[in-house]
Chains A and B, each alone.
Chain A
Amino acid sequence: DVKVTQSSRYLVKRTGEKVFLECVQDMDHENMFWYRQDPGLGLRLIYFSYDVKMKEKGDIPEGYSVSREKKERFSLILESASTNQTSMYLCASSYPGFYEQYFGPGTRLTVT
């Protein structure tokens, strides 16, 4: 079974803090994705990566950056957290050439 893990289930940070969200997958997937999920807005793609050290902007990259130094690990960085970044953050991964994505349990981030 594919396993995608995220470093924290719940996180509370203050405005202006730098926040790191970590995602690790154990299935040697090349593709990895970061989404945020908000009521009424659904899932929105922030960034994705097709390979190590490679990244592509999704639909809402503003205020975020990513890092992929190892194939199994994809990090989402909030350089200076703001209250409008309070959300559920979901990481996913997939094999190259396949569209099915496997999700982690999510990190519920609250910025106060």
Chain B
Amino acid sequence: QKEVEQDPGPLSVPEGAIVSLNCTYSNSAFQYFMWYRQYSRKGPELLMYTYSSGNKEDGRFTAQVDKSSKYISLFIRDSQPSDSATYLCAMSGVDSNSGYALNFGKGTSLLVTP
């Protein structure tokens, strides 16, 4: 079993919809959770960062972590065509074998249609 699982999509939604992107993980040592956005042919850009369980909101974006279920989510409200990108989840923890290296999901491709 991969340490981080993420549905690759593609996910297609109309403009203005609420988008839900998710990852599951197996390593209970993970405590640091990130979401990256990657536009086509560009490097990933850090979008959200959370520590341990709970919610974090930044504008139209909300990151949610449920450590008991080993499940993280990214919600995008009022989605815009400019949100069309691949979204990568990433995580790590002090006990993970690779130190400060991150464990990435494979990314979910999102298309927001006007």
Tell me whether A99 and B106 are in contact in the complex, defined as CB-CB below 8 angstroms, given that A45-B98, A104-B43, A106-B43 are known contacts.
no
With CB as the reference atom, state the residue of chain B lying closest to A2: B46
Contacting pair A100 B42 (CB below 8 A): no
Number of A residues with CB within 8 Å of any CB on chain B: 27
Does more than half of chain B's interface fall in helix, strand or loop, or is it mixed?
Answer: loop
Select which of B36, B45, B100, B105 is within 8 A of A31 by beta carbon. B100
**Which residues from chain B contact A31 at a C-beta distance below 8 Å?**
100
Encoded as 1 (CB less than 8 Å from any A CB) or 0, chain B from 88 to 101 comes to 10101000001111
Tell me whether A99 and B92 are in contact in the complex, defined as CB-CB below 8 angstroms, given that A90-B43, A106-B41 are known contacts.
yes
Chain B: number of interface residues, binned into ranges: 20 to 34
Select which of A43, A97, A106 is within 8 A of B42 by beta carbon. A106
Give the complex CA separation of A54 and B60 in angstroms.
40
Contacting pair B43 A105 (CB below 8 A): yes
Contacting pair A58 B98 (CB below 8 A): yes
Give the complex CA separation of A62 and B81 in angstroms.
40
Tell me whether A99 and B44 are in contact in the complex, defined as CB-CB below 8 angstroms, given that A41-B106, A42-B106 are known contacts.
no
Contacting pair A99 B32 (CB below 8 A): yes
Encoded as 1 (CB less than 8 Å from any B CB) or 0, chain A from 75 to 112 comes to 00000000000000010001011111111111010000
Q: Can you give 12 A-B contacts (C-beta < 8 A)?
A: A40-B106, A42-B88, A42-B105, A45-B98, A48-B98, A48-B100, A48-B101, A99-B102, A100-B49, A102-B46, A105-B43, A106-B43
CB-based closest 4 A-B pairs: A42-B106, A103-B43, A99-B32, A43-B104
